[in-house]
Amino acid sequence: MSRKIAIGKIALLLASLAEEELDYFRPTLKELSFCQGKVGSMNMQKVISAVETAAKRNGIIHESLYRETHALYHAILEAIKGVTRDQPAIGEMSRTVGLRFSVVRGAPYANEAEGEWISVAFYGTIGAPVKGLEHETIGLGINHI
């Protein structure tokens, strides 16, 4: 069961690379369904909401199907754990985040029966709620859908 497309790596590049840096990877992007977005907040609910709204608006997941919402939610949660590297809290812990994110949906496995999977990636900064007192952060979550 060799992997066909690394949807996690693609999600991460979509979240972290500049437009011109992505050129090399354009051919792979054509085989996938994806969206990109930005969110800056001290409120985790807003971060989660931003990704969910983007995924629904761009048709990456089916808005009214709970099984798709459930798959996406857990992928977001896992990506957030990479971002916070501790309990998934920001404002409560006096931190703020400025993140670019992406959601990628596709069939990563050669075996067709493995079906579709979804990946969520974040790249940006986390730090004190003071401009400049921050460092980079990354997170990736993957789930079957």
Task: State the residues that interact with a second copy by CB under 8 A.
Answer: 1-2, 6-9, 12, 16, 21, 24-25, 44-45, 48-49, 52, 65-67, 69-71, 73-74, 77-78, 81-82, 85-89, 91-94, 108-109, 113-115, 117, 119, 121, 123, 127-128, 131-144
Q: How far is the CB of 58 from a second copy (least distance, A)?
A: 18
Q: Choose among 111, 110, 104: nearest CA to 145.
A: 104
Of the pair 54, 88, the CB lying nearest a second copy is at 88
Asked if residues 76 and 52 have their Cβ atoms less than 8 Å apart, the reply is yes
Asked if residues 15 and 123 have their Cβ atoms less than 8 Å apart, the reply is yes
Of the pair 58, 82, the CB lying nearest a second copy is at 82
Q: How far is the CB of 37 from a second copy (least distance, A)?
A: 16
Of the pair 9, 37, the CB lying nearest a second copy is at 9
Burial 6-17 (b: 16+ CB within 10 A, else e): ebbebbbbbbbe
The pair of three-digit structure tokens given for residue 42, joined into one six-digit string: 């001290």
